[in-house]
Amino acid sequence: MVVGPQPKGDVTCSEVLMSRIPLLRSIARIIIGGGGSGGGEGRPVEVAAPDPVPSVVYLLVNDGSCVSSLQVVIDSSVSPVNQFMAIGTSVLLEGLLKEPSVPGKHVIELQVEKVLHVGTVDLNKYPLTKTIYPVDFLRVYSHFRPRTTTMASVTRIRSALGYSTHIFCQNNGFFNVHMPILTSTDSRGHSEMFQVTTLLGKAEMNTKDDSGELDIINAAIKEKRSRIEQLKRNESDKEALLAALRDLQKANELVLQIEQQKSKFLPSLKDGKVDFSKDYFSRQANLTNSSVLHLESYACALSSVYAFGPVFQAEKTRHLAESWMVELELAFADMEDVVKCAVNYLKFLCQRILESNSDDLKFLSKRKEKTCIDSLQLIKSSSFEKITYTDAVELLKKVTDKTFKTKIEWGMSLAEEHESHLAEAIFKQPVIVYDFPKEIKPFYMRLNDDGRTVSAFDVVVPKVGVLILGGQREERFKSINKRIEELGLPREQYEWYLDLRRHGTVKHSGFSLQFEHMVMLATGVENIRDVIPYPRTPGKLSY
């Protein structure tokens, strides 16, 4: 039973487990009263055995529901204790929760009466031990790393941040819309995107059918060649050599035939362009890099909408190929409205995580020098400084106590060093930079009256950098049409988008949060590959 009352009083561990309520979080809440105590050793099970041939073992059992572990005592009279000795062993136990026999950091322990299940570990092959692992080591074992306390905490905080996003949006009248992943529209204009096809699969499929065959023929060819070499050296049998040569030729022809068969499924060119006529969508299909354009169509119908899903980028940069993005879009809203909304959203997230995941935050702070709690507190209490891009550039130009790698000039994108100097050195709090030159922002940002800048904004946070990108969308048909022409974007892709300006156009604005950056802020984890379960970067795809 998933929905049910929380177990109270004298329950057996098995009852708790069987009731499908997270074991340790429940125990921590009911008996210890919130805080929890020890544990957090970064592995599912820790074993303490008083002597080499122990008669009693003390295990620290964790079920992933919270940081704390439960101390478990197993006497060898109940079960052979050797089977519990390996880190990573899974157990299902029945027993009595009671005060610890030996006073220590644990306020409760489980005296085991019955062992229901043991899932052993092959110690020679299991990569996790008692050590605290360097993160890049763990990255190789994406399927095991949530078993460490650090990654489990990151996962719980990521989950809470996502849920808080839904709560914020739903409580404020936003509707969640599932925007398409497969698209023919480039939402950024001129960006490198992944293509989606079934053609390569067809070629591979065709390979599969004869996969064995081809390997066999290739092996046979190798053999035939060595036999021919042998026959050549041994000049006596001309007849046999001739037969062997003919045989080889036949085999080679067969290979060629099979390869040609497969090739015909490969994408080809037609009039100088890739021929998609045989492809699934009969045209080029890409993986979306942002939902903003599609989301606008829903904002123009339902007023306040949000999307929360994966986005993709094929640039070989330090970014992830696949990441999650939160996007909010508001009709009848200008930049000021949407900036307020973005700030409220960020403050709500921080407030909620500080309350709901305090144990995880405490654990991560110990490991990560408290940066995450500070960052969350800062955003929660900050008033958010606002400055135009033009003023920010002027300020940065006047900086004398620091030399930037790149000298800033009006018209350039702010580099990381400039942003961090603004937020950390100058304002010492989150900063909203707005009114950027139109050239460095997407084509759909609303042109300001000066004709040079657009109503776009960045939220820059100390130690994290740009967290949110947003702005007011160009709602005037003439302006957006001109911008698409200026940039030489393929107009036919954007006709449907222009329709939103042709028919019942309204002022509207929105912003996006790169979700992984928020998780990094909230956890203090420094590498983006460690805040997403299965990170995808160039050349890396082992799962």
Which residues ranging from 334 to 353 are in contact with its own copies (CB under 8 A)? 337, 340-341, 344-345, 348
Q: How far is the CB of 427 from its own copies (least distance, A)?
A: 23
Figure out which of the listed residues 47, 85, 214, 426 binds its own copies, where binding follows CB under 8 A. Answer: 214
Q: How far is the CB of 183 from its own copies (least distance, A)?
A: 6
Identify each DSSP E strand in 252-352 by its residue range: 269-270, 273-274, 285-287, 304-312, 322-331
Of residues 331 and 396, the one with the C-beta less far from its own copies: 331
Residue 439 has a CB neighbour count (10 Å cut-off) of 13
Figure out which of the listed residues 8, 52, 77, 117 binds its own copies, where binding follows CB under 8 A. Answer: 117
438 scored as a contact of its own copies (CB under 8 A): no
CB 278 within 8 A of CB 200: no
**Which window, 63-71, 415-423, 439-447, 465-473, contacts its own copies (CB under 8 A)?**
63-71
Of residues 154 and 231, the one with the C-beta less far from its own copies: 154
Measured N-to-C along each axis, helices 199-209 and 211-233 cross at an angle, to the nearest 10 degrees, of 60
Of residues 167 and 243, the one with the C-beta less far from its own copies: 167
Figure out which of the listed residues 28, 59, 115, 152 binds its own copies, where binding follows CB under 8 A. Answer: 152
137 scored as a contact of its own copies (CB under 8 A): no
61 scored as a contact of its own copies (CB under 8 A): no
Of residues 230 and 317, the one with the C-beta less far from its own copies: 317
Figure out which of the listed residues 27, 177, 447, 456 binds its own copies, where binding follows CB under 8 A. Answer: 177
Q: Determine which helix (DSSP H) or strand (DSSP E) holds 171, and give its type and residue range.
A: helix 149-171
Which token pair is 521?
Answer: 């802020």
Residue 320 has a CB neighbour count (10 Å cut-off) of 20
Q: For residue 318, give Cα distances in angstroms to 39, 192, 420, 527, 543.
A: 34, 14, 18, 10, 20
Of residues 133 and 436, the one with the C-beta less far from its own copies: 133
Figure out which of the listed residues 81, 408, 500, 528 binds its own copies, where binding follows CB under 8 A. Answer: 500
Binding mask 218-257 for its own copies (x = CB under 8 A): x------------------------------------x--
Q: Which residue has the tokens 């123009």?
A: 300
76 scored as a contact of its own copies (CB under 8 A): no
Q: For residue 360, give Cα distances in angstroms to 25, 34, 130, 165, 464.
A: 12, 12, 20, 19, 20
Residues 146-181: b if buried by 16+ CB within 10 A, e if exposed: bbbbbbbbbbbbbebbbebbeebbeeeebeebebee
150 scored as a contact of its own copies (CB under 8 A): no
Which residues make beta-bridge pairs with 434? 388, 457
Which token pair is 539?
Answer: 């050349």
Question: How many positions of this chain bind its own copies (CB under 8 A)?
Answer: 138
By CB under 8 A, the residues from 472 to 491 that bind its own copies are 475
CA trace torsion 448, 453, 455, 456 (10° rounding): 170
**Which window, 113-121, 245-253, 373-381, 421-429, contacts its own copies (CB under 8 A)?**
113-121
Of residues 116 and 243, the one with the C-beta less far from its own copies: 116
Of residues 38 and 310, the one with the C-beta less far from its own copies: 310
By CB under 8 A, the residues from 299 to 338 that bind its own copies are 300-304, 309-310, 312, 314, 316, 321-322, 324, 330-333, 337
Figure out which of the listed residues 7, 32, 37, 65 binds its own copies, where binding follows CB under 8 A. Answer: 65
Closest alpha carbon to 93 in 29, 24, 36: 24
381 scored as a contact of its own copies (CB under 8 A): no
By CB under 8 A, the residues from 417 to 436 that bind its own copies are none
522 scored as a contact of its own copies (CB under 8 A): no
Q: For residue 95, give Cα distances in angstroms to 14, 24, 182, 292.
A: 7, 15, 52, 54
**Which window, 86-94, 229-237, 406-414, 460-468, contacts its own copies (CB under 8 A)?**
86-94
**Which window, 195-203, 226-234, 365-373, 430-438, contacts its own copies (CB under 8 A)?**
195-203
281 scored as a contact of its own copies (CB under 8 A): yes
Q: How far is the CB of 4 from its own copies (least distance, A)?
A: 9
Figure out which of the listed residues 57, 74, 179, 433 binds its own copies, where binding follows CB under 8 A. Answer: 179
Of residues 371 and 472, the one with the C-beta less far from its own copies: 472
Which residues make beta-bridge pairs with 375? none
Which residues make beta-bridge pairs with 477? none
Which token pair is 450?
Answer: 């000066």
53 scored as a contact of its own copies (CB under 8 A): no
463 scored as a contact of its own copies (CB under 8 A): no
Count Cα atoms within 13 angstroms, Cβ side, for 361.
23
Q: How far is the CB of 499 from its own copies (least distance, A)?
A: 6
Of residues 61 and 392, the one with the C-beta less far from its own copies: 61
Phi/psi of residue 161, nearest 5 degrees:
-65, -40
Taking CA 265 as the corner, what is the angle to CA 263 and CA 267, rounded to the nearest 5 degrees? 90
Q: How far is the CB of 48 from its own copies (least distance, A)?
A: 18
**Which window, 53-61, 75-83, 278-286, 371-379, contacts its own copies (CB under 8 A)?**
278-286
CB neighbours of 487 closer than 8 A, spacing ≥ 6? 189, 190, 443
27 scored as a contact of its own copies (CB under 8 A): no
Measured N-to-C along each axis, helices 515-523 and 371-381 cross at an angle, to the nearest 10 degrees, of 110
Q: How far is the CB of 105 from its own copies (least distance, A)?
A: 24
DSSP 360-406: HHHHHHHHHTTHHHHHHHHHHH---EEEEHHHHHHHHHT--S---SS
Dihedral sign of CA atoms 366, 369, 375, 380 in order: positive
